[in-house]
Structure 1
Amino acid sequence: MVLMTKDVFASLRRAVCAVVGVVVLQNVLVYMAMLSFFCEDRVKAEVSPSLQSSSPLLWWDELRGTLATIGAWAADGIAYLSGCLTSEATNPLIEMFRYEYPTPFAQVWVPVTNNGLELSCQVAKRHQEGGANKEKNMTVVIVPGMFNSSSFSLIVSLASLVYYQWRANVIVVDLRGHGETGRRFPNVPFSLTVLEGLDLLKVADFAKSTFGDEAGSICLLGVSLGGTSVLSSAVQGKDCSALIAACATVSAPMDLDSLLVRMSQGSLNIWFMFYSWVLICYCHCRNIGWHSRNFHSFVNQVVKPYYAKEFEQVLKTSDDPSKLSPMWRLKDLQVPLLAVHSRDDPVATLEEPQHLQRQAKLHNKDHLVHIKLCETGGHAGNLPSISGDIHRFFTACSHLPRNCC
């Protein structure tokens, strides 16, 4: 009887400690989010004609960028961690941080290959309003980043903002190996943006055929590695310019090969390493299509063997036959591109827009490539504050004649 009582008290003590730990973690993350959001000058940004003279960041700037990143993406992690430590059925934190799309959104499966592969998309259509001063419709395709899906809080918030404030049609895409697409097709991995660019053009074609005249101008908006996939669409030449009016990327790694090396070597800045590890484990446990917690081995053992023929074909058209990044095919860019970066980004460092700028000059694409450099914001942590700039860019490009390049 005494032993049973001790076991009961030990179980209760562990449960209480777990709940207290989750609450403390929640408060710490919320505090860091408030600190990083309200103590930074997120409005200070410029379109830089040259990024070559930018000085390296000090350690507290890197820390600030990591805090902004954690603040932007932490809500999903809180829900998962609280679910691990307590019962998801009764945990109030699960309900508090559950992010669902509003009523106008509905899940649609869009076919992208001849062998049956379909992408899960959250779609919301706006009916064009009448009147003499009616604005031209716009369709925005939102592409989440690596280890993320359409159900992540920041993506849901962005999609809602585009639908209600921009008054645009919205399509949020789960890429290969991500979200609902990864769950339905678990054996089809992410292709490191090589085939995702073509997939997004299929989604744009779906929007054009489904929405008809109400599709308006179709624009692509990618976050993090989703931005690299958008760039992969943008360098498809006339195939892209026939469908897409403009593209925008936020915190996108432009030199993907360099990023993969840094990830495999663990050389991302020290403030971001722990958060990255937690995020990777979180996505692995949620089973969103990633087959290994070790991303380096996942790429070498799964991705590259699976897409060997496709990679070989793409590398033949690249400026550098050893590079996978779509940046090395910038000569085929025919649509306006806005690339937004933050100086304190702990993942996509300042070298990324510098590489893009050099390639744009090399191929005489300066008139198409626009780089917006923000002083603060971390890795897409300032996405809400710069959404207005992206909207203005898309609106301006929507009035340009197509194939003006």
Structure 2
Amino acid sequence: MTDHDLVRRGRVRLTQAALGLARTPLCLLGLPLVPLQLLGYPLILVTVGVPILLLVTALARRYTSFFRRWAGRVLEQEIPPPYRRPANRGPMTRVRTVATDPATWRDLAFLPLNAISGVVFGVAPAALWLGGAFGFVVPLLWLANARVVEYNLIHHDTPGSFVLAPLVGGLYLAAAWWATPRAARAHAKVARWLLAPSATATLTDRVRVLADSRADTVDAQAAELRRIERDLHDGAQARLVALGLSLGMAEELLARDPKAAQELLAEARQSSNQALAELRDLVRGIHPPVLADRGLDGALRALALAHPLPVEVDLELAGRPEAPVESAAYFAVAETLTNVAKHSGATDAWVRVRHEGGRLSLMIGDNGRGGAEASPGGGLRGIERRLAAFDGTLGIASPVGGPTIVTMELPCELSSVKTSSSSGTA
């Protein structure tokens, strides 16, 4: 380690110690919230406790959220908030949710424990640094007083005192160097222990997410079945009924009016062609043949070629995703590009596909007017529900004025065969 690195690391540790000392009064600031919150519970019986409890709880949660974010930065891991969400906005419902939420009581326990740990882990490193510095300053103070030096020389005390004080100061500085980063991490671990979601809360939240995802998947499947039924009823089924009627009439006219029968047969052939085309379109809407034959790369390029706007496709995959994930990704991109053509006012768009860290990442962007959001009943909300069935996520960055970037992620594994590593414009 060079002298420059040593000085730089020393500055970092001194800064950490100063910040820890400055954080000490902030840790003590949370103590008044404990009696205020406990006071709100008995006052609920006389109604005035409802706003008091909600206000104090909101302040306590804002206070703990600061330490949750700080601990996450120190430990280099995100600490999500563990709080339950009330079923509605009624004050009594919110009070009931707050009172029965284990996270509320963990926050309450955190406030005094944070005050103690904040003082200990904040003051101790600063005290060690000051003690170490004082050990080197004391000999200088002795030397500054000539009479004291003369007296010590007469009594033969000075050499031992001069050596002992810097030695003790060096030990203090070494302890401060070692303890400063560890004190901050120890304080952060205390915060994580009480402010992070418990294993039970994490499991409960996961079950809730899976239940919501399952409900969305069931609704999406029901809507898809209704769409297929409607398309069959209004399209191919109607064509086939008309075909049967035309063939029956042609059969009756064949003997007495062959020309009319011939015209009816021509209409029947036309109806059969139209029914076949509609059935093919319906099948493509369920699972496009190009997706099965050429994979996601070929399917997205074919989709881009058929799009009314110029669409650049940049796809690099070391294999093919599983068929259900591949289909979900394809239809999510198709729906997004349809929204681009209908609502964005863009002149061009792009699609980027990668697979990193066990997740299939898709980004679709355009240079339109922006303002896109996943509103209820909208296309983006439908995409979000489709992705949720595979534990996927949807992110939208669409400021007013554009551009719009839609990010999708799906956990999946790829096959071992490399499918593509290319980019181009369609």
TM-score, L = length of structure 1: 0.22
Q: Which has the higher helix share?
A: 2
Larger radius of gyration: 2
Relative contact order: is structure 1 or structure 2 higher (C-alpha 8 Å, sep ≥ 6)? 1
